[in-house]
Amino acid sequence: MPDDDATPEAEPEAASADGDAEATVASAATTLDPEATELLARLEAQLGDAVIEHGAAYGDVVVRVRPDAWLRTARVCRDDLGCDYLSFVSAIDWMPAPLLVDEGSGDTSTPAQPRETTYGTAGSDGRYQVFAIVESTQGARRRMVLKTDVDEQDLRAESWVSVYPGADWHERETWEMFGIEFDGHPALRHLYLPFEFEGHPLRKDYPLLAREVKPWPGLVDVEPMPGEDAGEEATPAVEAP
């Protein structure tokens, strides 16, 4: 299992001032203290080849497992690793959001995300990923981030309700927001949204309607002075933070 190093490739141009901070960021992200590595080793011992990839995110172990071993992972975590506390189950849509506004219009109301699709710690082999965090309230009190991939054509994942009853609501919310079916879930029905709501809002391609209704007040330009320097571009598009 290659210890996938999650050092950030894109060198952020604005953070050049704190070069040394850059080094500490990289090291803090990847180092795993002994307890975390021991926890990871015990998990891998139980699951064997189901663990595809693992990484570290600021002191927490991130483990990606095969979709068919998702329920087994939960049972292993609760029974063998002592992670009796389920923090949450949710999903991520890795596709970059479509550009709402054409490039040159100087609309900086939304932070400009990179256009190409990159996957976070422990990678992903598809657009959707279900991820959960389990913690232990006894003993070493460690935490673990578990991820599994979801096939884009057939959005399915195993439900954790039989192991952690608390997952019931989390999975209902994830189904509602991302459209990922959970097999074995007692009653997948709407939790937040009214029952006649179509579409899955947290998907990246789902538009934020509030922003299309009202024009952005920041777009108004100061009209150029009448007469000779009308050609000069009105307000230098200040690089908005």
Partner 1 sequence: MTTGTELPPPGQLPEVHVDPSMLRQLAESQVNVELDTGDMILNLGPQHPATHGTLRLVVRLDGERVIAADPVIGYMHRGYEKLTEFRTYPQITTLINRIDWLSSFANEVPFISGAEMLMGIEAPPRAQYIRTALTELSRIATFLLFLGEMGLQVGAITPAFYGFRDREYVLNLIEGVTGGRFHPNFNRIGGLKDDLPWGWYSECRSTMAKVLASCDEFENLVVGNPIFEQRTRSIGIIPAELGAAYGVSGSNIRASGVDWDLRRDGKPYLPYNELDWKVWTHPDGDSFARYWVRLQETRESARMVLQLLQQMPAGPVMAKVPRIIKVPEGEVWVNTENPLGEMGYYIVSKGATGPFRVKIRSASFSNVSILPWMLRGVYVPDIITILASLYFILGDIDR
Partner 2 sequence: MKREIKGMLTGLGVTFKTMTKPAVTVQYPHEREDPPTRARGVIALKEENCTVCMLCARQCPDWCIYIEGHKEQRPPRREGGRPRSVSVLDRFDIDYALCMYCGICVEVCPFDALFWSPEFEYSESRIADLLHDKDKLGEWMQTVPEPEPLEQGAVSK
Under rule CB under 8 A, residue 45 binds partner 2: no
| SS3 category, 116 | coil
Cα separation, 232 vs 22, in Å, equals 40
Under rule CB under 8 A, residue 115 binds partner 2: no
Selected from 62, 71, 77, 81, the binder of partner 1 by CB under 8 A is 62
Selected from 138, 222, 231, 233, the binder of partner 2 by CB under 8 A is 222
Q: Which helix (H) or strand (E) holds 128?
A: strand 128-135
Cα separation, 85 vs 141, in Å, equals 10
Q: DSSP secondary-structure letter at 97?
A: P
Q: Is 217 exposed, middle or buried (0-12, 13-18, 19+ CB in 10 A)?
A: exposed
Q: Pick the stretch among 45-53, 64-72, 134-142, 221-229 that binds partner 1 (CB under 8 A).
A: 134-142
Residue 225 binds which entry of partner 1, partner 2, none, CB below 5-8 Å type-dependent: partner 2
| SS3 category, 108 | coil
Residues lying near partner 1 in the complex (CB under 8 A): 6, 8-10, 12-15, 17-18, 21-22, 24-25, 28-29, 57-60, 62, 78, 84-88, 90, 92-93, 97, 109-114, 118, 120-121, 131, 133, 135, 137-138, 141, 143, 145, 164-166, 168-170, 177, 190-194, 201-202, 204, 206, 208, 211, 239, 241
